[in-house]
Amino acid sequence: MSSRKGPLSGIRVVELAGLGPAPFGAMLLADMGAEVVRIDRTQGGVGIGLKTQYDVLARGRQFVRADLKHPRGKETVLRLIDQADVLIEGFRPGVLERLGLGPDVLLARNPRLVIGRMTGWGQDGPLAQRSGHDINYIALAGALFSIGQKDGPPVVPLNLIGDFGGGGLLLAFGVLCALLEARISGHGQVVDAAMVDGAALLTAGVHAMLAQGLFREGRGESILNGGAPFYGVYECADGEFVTIGALEPQFYEELMARLQLDPAIFADRHPRNWSKQRSTLAAVFKTRTRDEWCDVLQDTDICFAPVLRMSEAPNHPHNRARGVFTEVNGLVQPVPAPRFSRTSATVNAPAAAPGTHTDDVLSRWGFAPGEIAELHAAGVIAGPNDHK
């Protein structure tokens, strides 16, 4: 275990292994210095076929394997949770309760515990027990409809809005809010983090524009969803793309000057002129390659950036200068964010195989050597190479 002192140093988290947003939330806490112990099953596991060495979302953890369906396994995990500040789980509503680990049980044993529960639809509501994925949650939240090209279908924005932005990130935020409150009140609580809630929350600013008539919901019809020619993506001569975001008047004026645009076409930014302006800009950007446009426009204030592939982003000079990406055991990945002036966050450790730290964690958290040996013999806990 690292001796580093991140801003969450001293916080203990137990994470029940899951997929996507819950591991991302736990990763954020681990990046910030929390001691995160992940509980994996003794038999089988969860995952989408990602090999351990590539599992960025599992970085920074200590890995324990325990059988939650065995009475002694459940009691082992309860003893760990008794000493934790936070529990994170991503089961469907009711599963934790059926395991005998519901909030009533946990808070009776550890009154200051914060229980972060990550779901898609939430702990209650008509859809609470239904299956779903990111695409479904952002669709119901209203976040998906307006994303895409005019006269085309909605475009899936990877799984960034539901799983990660509206899911794991909001889970971590909620957990930290509850931790701060618990330090004042002495009482923990349940954090009901739902991806449909979080995806809806991310649209707050757009709702404000919609209410004032500044946003049209149709795809490619408003400033922020590809309608405005001065805020969009353009193809270059080499088939690559660049972006411009010249929203403010001063940036727009510089765009016109740099590209020598005809004022007769571009002076009036009213939506009735957008179609002509867009087609003109599209023709201009097709005259040079992406890298040539970078040479011409990167050091201007027209709000410009090339559209980089994820594999290209780590090598951009700005990202390299700031150290936006790092390499851990040969795997390139984003560094923790945000940044701190005193208690810096770092990648604590790469993902390890389930059960790698079983004995070490139990020993440090108060289990006697003989007791650990008995639990192994009974098949209640397991190391990385044990097979039940």
Q: Give me the chain's average pLDDT, please.
A: 95
Q: What is the pLDDT of residues 161-170, one digit of tens each?
A: 999 999 999 9
Please tell me the predicted confidence (pLDDT) of residue 2.
Answer: 44
| Domain covering 218-235+241-306 assigned CATH 3.40.640.10 in the classification | no
Q: 318 an active-site residue?
A: no
Average pLDDT over residues 171-183: 98
Average pLDDT over residues 89-115: 97
Residue 1, pLDDT > 60, answer no
Q: 357 an active-site residue?
A: no
Q: What is the DSSP string of 322-336?
A: HT-EEEETTEEEEPP
Contacts (Cβ under 8 Å, ≥6 apart) of 48: 19
Q: Which CATH class is domain 12-202+326-382?
A: alpha beta
| Given 67, 85, 163, 359, the catalytic residue | 163
Q: Please, which contacts does 257-266 make with residues 24 or more away whose CB atoms are closer than 8 Å?
A: 258/296, 258/297, 258/300, 258/302, 259/284
Please tell me the predicted confidence (pLDDT) of residue 47.
Answer: 59
Ranking 1-10, 27-36, 107-116 by mean pLDDT, the lowest is: 1-10
Q: What is the pTM of this model?
A: 0.94
Average pLDDT over residues 356-373: 97
Please tell me the predicted confidence (pLDDT) of residue 3.
Answer: 47
Q: Report the distance separating Cα 128 and Cα 217, nearest Å.
A: 28
Q: What is the distance of C-alpha 273 from the center of its chain?
A: 38
Query: Comparing 12-202+326-382 with 218-235+241-306, is the CATH topology the same?
Result: no
Q: Report the distance separating Cα 162 and Cα 196, nearest Å.
A: 7
Query: Where do the domains of the chain lie?
Result: 12-202+326-382, 218-235+241-306
Percent of the chain residues past pLDDT 90, beyond the cut: 94
Q: What is the pLDDT of residues 23-60, one digit of tens each?
A: 999 999 999 999 999 999 987 666 567 788 899 999 99
Q: What is the pLDDT of residues 293-346, one digit of tens each?
A: 999 999 999 999 999 999 999 999 999 999 999 999 999 999 999 999 999 999
Reduced to 3 states, what is the DSSP secondary structure of residue 150? coil
Nearest residue to 193 (alpha-carbon basis) of 138, 134, 123? 123
Average pLDDT over residues 167-194: 98
Ranking 162-176, 250-264, 373-387 by mean pLDDT, the lowest is: 373-387
Q: What is the pLDDT of residues 214-223, one digit of tens each?
A: 999 999 999 9
Please tell me the predicted confidence (pLDDT) of residue 50.
Answer: 79
Average pLDDT over residues 349-376: 96
The residue to which tokens 């404000």 are assigned: 208
Q: What is the pLDDT of residues 127-152, one digit of tens each?
A: 999 999 999 999 999 999 999 999 99
Length of the chain, in residues: 388
